[in-house]
Amino acid sequence: MRKAIPTLLWRELESLFFSPLAYIVLTLFLVLSGFSFVYAVKVSLGVVADTVAVFLGDGPLFWVLLAVVPPLVTMRLVAEERRSGTLELLLTAPVRDGEVILAKFLGALVFQAFLWAPTLAYVRILRNYGALPDAGQLLTSYAGIALCTALLTAVGLLFSTRTSNQIVAAVGSLTFNVLFLVLPSLAVEERFGLARSVLQAVWPVEHFAGSFSRGLLDSGHVVFYVVATGGVLVLAARSLEARKWR
């Protein structure tokens, strides 16, 4: 890794944490995750494994968070630099387009790790009441969140490279996320054939219900998220290079 990536990453984190939007997103996240936790405790009727599963995988608010947060964090990453013109200064410095994309992606991920970190407090609360959540289940749940967030963050970044308007980027990637998370649930009937199998295979909700929330780590799922994230990041870098197409 060249030195450019840590430099760019640091700058990215600075501007993420210095923007007021970061704290609005943080507040929204805390409110929604709080509700999500209360909901999880209520529906699981005191079964700790179920509380964790609902809170970190099966609950509806969990999916709202997963779909809404990455677009809000990624929308400004490239779009704002394009709008203000700083993209030109960035890309005429001796850095590769791929390095810029990777640094922005990592910055967004670090920021979201910061968002999710307080949810560990809820787990601690469960312990206070004498119930011990299973460490393996927690580990796979957070692994699932990290993998799925990484993919949706890459998608958000791709949308952000396509426009100079943050709102367009946010709405575009949010629309993608909603379709990605909802569409497979509509294609449950046999008559959808191959489309159904494909959609079911890449459906994050199913990945969580079937493995991440149950304490299982399916290598197939891991490979899917890693490859898909990498693929979308390559597309994002190509999209940044699109200015060079003649």
Partner 1 sequence: MIRIEHLTRRFHDLVAVDDVSLDVAEGDVLGFLGPNGAGKSTAMRILAGFLPASSGRAQVAGFDVAGDSLRVRQHIGYLPENVPLPPDARVDEYLEFRARLKEVPATRRLAARERVLQDCGLVPMRRRIIGQLSRGYRQRVGLADALISEPPVLILDEPTGGLDPAQRQEVLDLVASFRGRRTVLLSSHVLAEVEHACSRVAIIQRGRIVAQGTKAELEASAGRRGEIAVRARGAGPRLCAALQSRGLAPRAEPDPDAFVVRLERDADAAPLLAALVAAGLPVDAFRPLERTLHDIFLDLTRAPAP
Enumerate binding residues for partner 1 (CB under 8 A): 3-4, 7-8, 10-11, 14-15, 18-19, 84-89, 91-96, 243-244, 246
Q: Which two tokens stand for residue 105?
A: 């992606």
DSSP annotation of 242: G
- Cβ proximity to partner 1: between 16 and 148 the closer is 16
* Cβ 82 to partner 1 shortest distance, Å: 10
- Cβ proximity to partner 1: between 43 and 91 the closer is 91
- Cβ proximity to partner 1: between 3 and 191 the closer is 3
* Cβ 115 to partner 1 shortest distance, Å: 20
State the residue for tokens 């407090």.
121
* Cβ 1 to partner 1 shortest distance, Å: 14
Nearest residue to 65 (alpha-carbon basis) of 102, 100, 28:
28
* Cβ 97 to partner 1 shortest distance, Å: 10
- Cβ proximity to partner 1: between 22 and 28 the closer is 22
- Cβ proximity to partner 1: between 60 and 94 the closer is 94
- Per-position b or e across 69-89, b if 16+ CB within 10 A of its CB: bbbbbbbbbbbbbbeeeebee
* Cβ 15 to partner 1 shortest distance, Å: 6
Longest dimension (CA), the chain: 65
Q: Is 245 left (phi over 0), alpha (psi -120 to 50) or beta?
A: beta
Three-state secondary structure call for residue 76? helix
